[in-house]
Amino acid sequence: MIMQAMWKPAWLEALNTQKFFVACSFHEHAKKNEKNICCLDCCTSICPHCVAAHRVHRLLQVRRYVYHDVVRLEDLEKLIDCSSVQSYTINSSKVVFLKKRPQNRQFKGSGNICTSCDRSLQEPYFHCSLDCKVEYILRQKKNLSAYLRPCKILQLGPDFFIPHDADDDTTHSTLVDVDEPMGSSDSENLSAPCTNFVRKKRSGPYICARSANRVSDEDMATNMSRRKGVPHRSPLC
Q: What are the pLDDT digits (tens) for 32-50?
A: 899 999 999 999 999 999 9
Of the two residues 35 and 105, the one the predictor is more confident about is 35
Please determine, for residue 213, whether its predicted confidence score (pLDDT) is greater than 50: no
Q: How confident is the model at residue 201 (pLDDT cuts 50, 70, 90)?
A: very low
> Which segments of 3-159 are extended strands (E)?
37-39, 44-46, 59-61, 63-65, 68-72, 88-90, 93-97, 112-113, 120-121
Q: What pTM, to 2 d.p., does this model score?
A: 0.65
Mean pLDDT of 21-32: 92
Of 25-34, 158-167, 227-236, which gets the smallest average pLDDT?
227-236
Helix-then-strand count for the chain, H and E: 5, 12
Mean pLDDT of 129-147: 94
Q: Quick one: pLDDT at residue 158?
A: 79
Judged on CB neighbours under 10 Å (0-12, 13-18, 19+), 50 is buried
Q: What is the mean pLDDT of the chain?
A: 76
Q: Quick one: pLDDT at residue 220?
A: 56
Q: How confident is the model at residue 84 (pLDDT cuts 50, 70, 90)?
A: very high
Q: Quick one: pLDDT at residue 232?
A: 62
Tell me if 18 sits within 8 A of 44, measured CB to CB.
Answer: yes
Please determine, for residue 23, whether its predicted confidence score (pLDDT) is greater than 70: yes
